[in-house]
Amino acid sequence: MPALLRPDWVFDDYTAVTPDFLRAQGIRLLLSDLDFTLAPKRVKDADERLRAWVESLRAAGITLVILSNNRSSVRVERYCKGLGITYVGHAGKPHRGGYLRAMEQNGETAARTAMLGDKLLTDCLGARLAGVRMLMVEPAGGARGPWQKVLHALQEPFKRVGARDTRSKDGKKTKNGAR
Ligand SMILES: [Mg+2]
């Protein structure tokens, strides 16, 4: 199994990625995909759950930056404005340019940065190429449409390896958290 497609951790949902977990890993900059990671694509604005999570990161001194491949910035901009966070649009994942740009803009090193996302071939591969750790989540709202379903089915074996590693790193399964 190619190491480039192996997430470091697999979680059911972004809320399982807590400030305590990130701080324990020495992560101070969290880059995150938007669609199907923080919200289903059809959801236009951040809900209370997402707001609370973003606020908890901020309170812990962890910077959150959205890294999006969306062709139009309208959706990402609206989301980020509402949450008071920045984004790197047209990130070109899996190319590492967007990751490096986000780190440079925030004065952080790869060792203190991680990527959160739902896709192996964009989010995870890009994280590997940029030398940052990868936190994988199940697609928010579930896989929709035939293409998404096929894609997520193909990702399963890779995620199982990541999930196994997550369990061995954590020593136990966390509630609603690491699988
Ligand atoms: Mg996504």
Q: Residue 104 Cα, ligand 1 centroid: separation in angstroms? A: 23
* Best mean pLDDT range from 19-23, 77-81, 151-155: 19-23
Q: Residue 46 Cα, ligand 1 centroid: separation in angstroms? A: 15
The yes-or-no verdict on residue 142 having pLDDT over 90 is no
Query: Which residues partner with 115 through β-bridges?
Result: 31, 134
Q: Residue 118 Cα, ligand 1 centroid: separation in angstroms? A: 5
Q: Residue 38 Cα, ligand 1 centroid: separation in angstroms? A: 8
Q: Residue 34 Cα, ligand 1 centroid: separation in angstroms? A: 6
Q: Residue 132 Cα, ligand 1 centroid: separation in angstroms? A: 17
Task: Report the mean per-residue pLDDT for the chain.
Answer: 90
**Residue 67 contacts residue 86 (beta carbons within 8 Å):** no
Beta strand ranges found along the chain (DSSP E): 9-11, 29-32, 63-67, 86-88, 113-117, 133-137
148 alpha carbon, distance to own chain's centre: 17
CA-to-CA dists, residue 91 to 3, 69, 157, angstroms: 22, 5, 26
pTM over 0.75: yes
Q: How are the residues of the chain apportioned to helix, strand and coil, as percentages rounded to the nearest 5?
A: 45, 15, 40
- pLDDT score of 175: 41
Q: Residue 137 Cα, ligand 1 centroid: separation in angstroms? A: 10
Measured distance CA(151)–CA(138) in Å, rounded: 12
Q: Note the pLDDT tens digit of each residue in 89-127.
A: 999 999 999 999 999 999 999 999 999 999 999 999 999
Q: Note the pLDDT tens digit of each residue in 156-178.
A: 888 888 778 777 776 544 444 55
- pLDDT score of 169: 73
pLDDT: which is higher, 173 or 10: 10
Determine the average pLDDT of the residues in 64-75.
92
Q: Which of 74-78, 142-146, 171-175 has the lowest mean pLDDT?
A: 171-175
Q: Residue 123 Cα, ligand 1 centroid: separation in angstroms? A: 8
Pull the structure tokens for residue 121. Answer: 């071939």
pLDDT bracket for residue 132 (50, 70, 90): very high
Query: Angle at CA 44, nearest 5°, toward 40 and 47?
Result: 75
* Domains of the chain and CATH, by start: 3-170 (3.40.50.1000)
Q: Residue 64 Cα, ligand 1 centroid: separation in angstroms? A: 16
The yes-or-no verdict on residue 12 having pLDDT over 70 is yes
Determine the average pLDDT of the residues in 68-97.
93
Q: Residue 50 Cα, ligand 1 centroid: separation in angstroms? A: 16
Determine the average pLDDT of the residues in 48-60.
98
Measured distance CA(95)–CA(107) in Å, rounded: 20
The amino acid that residue 109 corresponds to is: T
- pLDDT score of 70: 87
Q: Which of 9-18, 46-55, 102-111, 140-149 has the lowest mean pLDDT?
A: 140-149
Region class of 141: left (phi > 0), else alpha (psi between -120 and 50), else beta: left
Beta strand ranges found along 26-157 (DSSP E): 29-32, 63-67, 86-88, 113-117, 133-137
| DSSP reduced 3-state for 90 | coil
